[in-house]
Structure formats: C-alpha cells, structure tokens
C-alpha cells in the first residue's frame, strides 16, 4: 500500500461525486512501459483488480478506477479530493510508522512518478574529464506542497540520506526542489 500511495501522491487524482469515487492515475505516454510493468500490477495486487492502462488524450497514459471504497481508502490516508498540488502530503500511517521499508517503498514510487535524475559537473580539483563533463548524478523532485517537502525531508533524514532543499518563489507559487545527493 505504501507503494500505491507513493504513486498516487505523484500521478494520482481523487474525485468524489454524487456518492461515487474515482481514482485517476496517469503519467506521460513515454512512461507506458513503467505503467504496464509496475503501476498497473501494483494496483491490481493491492486492490484485487484487473486493470489495464490505456492512452488518454494529450499524450497521457494510465487508468481510472471507479470504486467508492477504494476512493474512500485514499481519502482516509489523507489524500485530498480534487486538486492536490498545494496540499498533498505523505499519509500519517506511513510517516509515523518509523518503518524504513515503508519509507523506502513510498519514496521509490513517488520519485518514479514525480522526479528525475540529472547529472552535474564537479568544480573541485579533479581530472579534466570531471571538470568539463556532467557526470555527478543528482535526483531532483519538485513540489509546491510545503507539507510534502517537509515529509520527504523527514523520511530522508530518518533514512540518513543526504539531501538539500532549494526554494524558488515565482510570482504565483512557492516551489520547492528537493535534491538527493
């Protein structure tokens, strides 16, 4: 369930309309293989479903679950109904568990859905290759949810993973970047 929560935190959307629940999980079309090999089997396993992902308009790929009980379970985990960008956070059941395996499973799937790996140069006295080429791996995650950023930092600290937070304030939003070293 921690993995499914990580996926939902990154690529999910929760709707509750007229007593019906709806979970929408979708990402970019280039993530088709990841969805077919990991996301769909995870949801099928956790919720005993027989989902199949499909291509949606605008180059997205994923699935929709129409099930009130499943939607209510995500709501009980603290996921907001409707837009979640500013208010998404890690479920307290995971955060307060002090269970490093749950932390790792949640973070892995959140990072799979909402982060990227990049490379930077080294600027110290290294060989010429390291000074001129981008070779140092960096994992970046960007969020505008202060709660999610604080929760991620808490778990990375508990896991003793070095990281830093960079805050950028454009006119409309306050965006936080969390980078794992």
pLDDT at 120: 72
Residues 65-86: tens digit of each pLDDT: 999 999 999 999 999 999 988 8
Instruction: Identify the pLDDT of residue 164.
Output: 81
Write the CATH number for 64. Answer: 3.10.28.10
**Tokens 């930077």, located at residue:** 120
As given in the structure block, the two tokens for residue 95 are 């955060």
H/E stretch holding 80: none
- Between CA 26 and CA 83 the distance in angstroms is 14
Joined together, the tokens standing for residue 41 give: 């089997």
* Overall average pLDDT of the 111-127 stretch: 73
H-helix or E-strand spanning residue 165? strand 163-168
Q: Count how many domains the chain has.
A: 1
- C-alpha count within 13 angstroms, C-beta hemisphere, residue 101: 1
Predicted confidence (pLDDT) per residue in 122-172, tens digit: 666 655 555 566 666 777 788 888 899 999 999 999 999 888 887 766 666
CA–centroid distance for 148 within its chain: 10
Could you list the residue range(s) of the whole structural domain that residue 172 is in? Answer: 2-180
Question: For 11-64, how does the pLDDT look when each residue is reduced to its tens digit (9 = 90+)?
Answer: 999 999 877 899 999 999 999 999 999 999 999 999 999 999 999 988 899 999
């Amino acid at each position: 369930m921690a993995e499914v929560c990580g996926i939902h935190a990154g690529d999910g959307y929760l709707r509750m309309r007229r007593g019906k629940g709806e979970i929408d999980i979708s990402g970019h079309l280039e993530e088709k293989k990841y969805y077919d090999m990991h996301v769909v089997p995870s949801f099928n396993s956790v919720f005993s479903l027989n989902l199949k992902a499909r291509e949606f308009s605008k180059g997205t790929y994923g699935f929709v679950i129409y099930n009130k009980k499943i939607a209510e379970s995500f709501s009980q985990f603290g996921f907001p109904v409707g837009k979640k960008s500013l208010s998404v956070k890690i479920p307290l059941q995971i955060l307060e568990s002090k269970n490093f395996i749950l932390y790792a499973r949640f973070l892995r799937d959140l990072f799979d859905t909402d982060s990227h790996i990049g490379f930077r140069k080294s600027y110290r006295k290294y060989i010429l290759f390291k000074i001129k080429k981008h070779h140092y791996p960096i994992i970046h995650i960007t969020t505008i949810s202060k709660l999610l950023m604080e929760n991620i930092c808490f778990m990375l600290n508990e896991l003793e993973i070095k990281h830093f937070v960079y805050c950028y304030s454009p006119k409309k939003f306050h965006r936080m970047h969390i980078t794992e070293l």
